[in-house]
Amino acid sequence: MFAFFLSSGLFLGWALGANDASNVFGTAVGSRMIRFRTAAGCCAVFILLGAVISGTGASETLGKLGEVNAIAGAFMVALAAGASVYLMTKAGYPVSTSQAIVGAIMGWNFFSGSLIDYGELKKIVLTWIACPLLSAVIAIFLYRLVTVCIRLFKPHMFSLDAMTRYGLLVVGAFGSYSLGANNIANVMGVFAPLAPFSEISLFGWLVLSPAQQLFFIGGLAIAIGVMTYSRHVMMTVGEGIMNLSPVAAFVVVLAHSLVLFVFASQRLELLLGAHGLPTFPLVPVSSSQAIVGAVMGIGILKKDSVVRWRVLGGIASGWIVTPIIAGLLTFVSLFFFQNVFNQETYRPVTYHLTPAASDRIRDANMASVPFADMAGKVYPNARSFNQALGVRTGLTPVQRNFIIESAKVDPIRIKGSVIDAIGDSQLSPPQKQALKSLTGRSFIHPWSLSEALAEISPAWRPAPGDDASKKELDRKLAYLTNLFRAKNKADFR
């Protein structure tokens, strides 16, 4: 059944490849510097590499926005996003796959009664604004730099033409890698917590985690979309907004590629953080917005260029309409899938102020908040529990989130057979040993597992002030929660 439900993710990947390949090679193909077949083949290979090697960073942000916890729900989320992207691709507009999947996840949140993490949503929306602006600024800087170098070295016309062709191919490969690394989260992010794969080793040295295997499958779907259906949108980007010279096309693709890379690279985030510098959020940004921003940057710099504002307006309207369409399609399709086809589109998660949850809240110095009327009540979802909290004044957003997390009832049972199947790339030996000591134990709240592991071993305690180690532990704990989640009451006992 997982293979069947994954088909919608593959469809979304195909739609992404058909649409977003234009952002990498559209200017090169539109300026007639690279043939379509060459561009499509190069794009397909490097998208696949980027998805497998560097695809995990941005996928975690989507998981925080909405944890789709049932495979049928993930199927409909991906299908609705893919359908909205396909409709816009059919019209020839380079829409944002990132916006489509975010809109679809929002539709799932509303249908399932899950809370929306407005902090993560705000972060994502701000990148939708920052992405084209940053791309435009980088394009202006790079274009000035390149033109200065051309005037300084005065290359022969044929030499310049050859260098530009090779340059377009190189930055296209880099852009394809960045696209795969950043946008594979849009394709397979909702399936990652639900994938039934085990870690595999190839040739004795190449180890692929379950997420990497999933991203490889998604990368193949993107590559097929590039090869089969991307020519039309490539021409819209390459010729529709404004006519670009080969040098300008090179700058546009490089600026777009750099923007996608900085929003997807975990290593860059760690490097900047280690030196006390501001970091870029690991968010699946819009490749379409990045390329259009870069083209507009060139248009602003070259005042004599004619910008086709009608085409640009159509593209911008597509960015607004796409998430709305995806959200509505998701909500309606989830209703039919659950009530007509009797499929579990979300797994209900209840909220209950158990004695353990109440003790945890009290230990966090929130005992003054009145909870007496909520004691003994079981709330069917996060939204109803949050509404009950709404009448309590004086709670900060951080305190509210802490209380909601404390009351979340999501039973976990630690099984030795499952621990043995966990690969070394997922947990370190000390972490795995600490987990084995909990074999047979059950936990009602996910945070109980986290505290139990931290009490057993320092390997499960984040280093003070080290945000990177805390993020890594949070990722591993989320992985364990999905792995050991009790499927039914018999499984929990």
pLDDT at 394 over 90: no
Of the candidates 208, 260, 264, 262, the one whose C-alpha atom is nearest the C-alpha of residue 60 is 264
Predicted confidence (pLDDT) per residue in 109-135, tens digit: 999 989 888 888 888 888 888 888 999
Q: Residue 347: its pLDDT value, please? A: 87
Indicate if the pLDDT at residue 346 is higher than 50.
Answer: yes
pLDDT score, position 40: 87
Gap between the Cα atoms of 5 and 77, Å rounded: 11
pLDDT (tens digit per residue) in 200-243: 877 666 778 788 888 999 999 998 988 887 777 666 655 555 56
- Give the model's pLDDT for residue 243: 66
The letter for the amino acid at 235 is M
Task: State both tokens at 448.
Answer: 């109980």
Q: What kind and span of H or E run contains 93?
A: none
CB 17 within 8 A of CB 222: yes
Q: How far apart are CA 263 and CA 284, in angstroms?
A: 7
Q: In this predicted structure, what is the pLDDT of residue 385?
A: 92
In angstroms, rounded to a whole number, what is the distance separating the alpha carbons of residues 295 and 293? Answer: 5
**Cβ(135)–Cβ(289) below 8 Å:** yes
* 258 has a pLDDT exceeding 90: yes
For CA atoms 412, 417, 420, 425, give the dihedral sign: negative
**Which residues are within 8 A (CB) of 60 and not within 5 positions of it... i.e. 6 or more apart?**
282, 475
Distance CA 77, CA 101 (A): 7
The residues with which 352 forms a beta bridge, in sequence order, are 378
Query: In terms of Cα–Cα distance, which of 334, 371, 331, 71 is closest to 193?
Result: 71
Residues 6 or more apart from 455 whose CB is under 8 A from it? none
Share of the chain above pLDDT 70, in %: 88
**Measured distance CA(171)–CA(254) in Å, rounded:** 6
Contact predicate 13/187, CB 8 Å: yes
How crowded is residue 166: how many other Cβ atoms within 10 Å of its Cβ?
13
Helix/strand/coil for 298:
helix
The structure tokens listed for 383 are 């939204």
Q: Of 315, 324, 323, which is closest to residue 95 (Cα–Cα)?
A: 315
Q: How many CB atoms lie within 10 A of CB 73?
A: 27
DSSP three-state, residue 311:
helix
> Are the beta carbons of 111 and 345 closer than 8 angstroms?
yes
* Per-residue 3-state assignment (H helix, E strand, C coil) for 228-291: HHCHHHHHHHHHHCCCCCHHHHHHHHHHHHHHHHHCCCHHHHHHHHHCCCCCCCCCCCCHHHHH
- In the predicted model, is pLDDT for residue 489 greater than 50? no
Task: Write the pLDDT tens digit of every residue in 363-389.
Answer: 887 756 677 778 789 999 999 998 888
The span from the CA of 197 to the CA of 221, in Å, is 18
Please, what is the average pLDDT of the chain?
84
Please determine, for residue 492, whether its predicted confidence score (pLDDT) is greater than 50: no
